[in-house]
Amino acid sequence: MKTAILILSDPKSGGEDALGRMFNGLAAAYDFKQKGEEVTILFQGAGTRWANLITQEDHPAHPLYLQVQDKIAGASCGCAEVFCSTDEVAASGLDLIRDNPVPGTSGLPSLPKLLGEGYSLLTF
């Protein structure tokens, strides 16, 4: 089993729902990792804004982030640009992914590529 977890929730939405979705995405990745399953995490859309937040030691999801950081593939480059989080993603140390050359963008993660590699997709 191979699973790709896409975190799309927006920390700027002002609600606890966004935190819950991101946390549950990381928790699912942790569960797959603990069971020895292949898992990867991508931050996409407004979810690219989480990169700077979860790397801060005082963030409630930081301890969980530390447990799954080795499973984080990175963040969508084009989405980070659109949502003004490119500098935060870079500062967090996450890779900017651009293997889907969408016209008018610097590139996004390729979901067909992940599916072709046998990954199932989960969105949070």
Number of structural domains the chain divides into: 1
Domain span including residue 102:
2-123
The strands making up 72-76's β-sheet, listed across from edge to edge, are 96-97, 72-76, 38-43, 2-7, 119-123
Question: Strands (DSSP E) along the chain, which ranges?
Answer: 2-7, 38-43, 72-76, 96-97, 119-123
The pLDDT value recorded for residue 78 is 97
| The model scores a pTM over 0.85 | yes
Q: What pLDDT was estimated at residue 56?
A: 94
* pLDDT given at position 32: 98
What is the model's pLDDT at position 85? 96
CATH number at residue 7: 3.40.1260
pLDDT for residue 15: 81
Q: Identify the pLDDT of residue 14.
A: 76
For the chain (length 124 residues), average pLDDT per consecutive 10? 97 90 98 98 97 94 97 97 95 95 94 97 98
Provide the greatest CA pair distance for the chain: 40
Q: Which residue has the tokens 């651009």?
A: 98
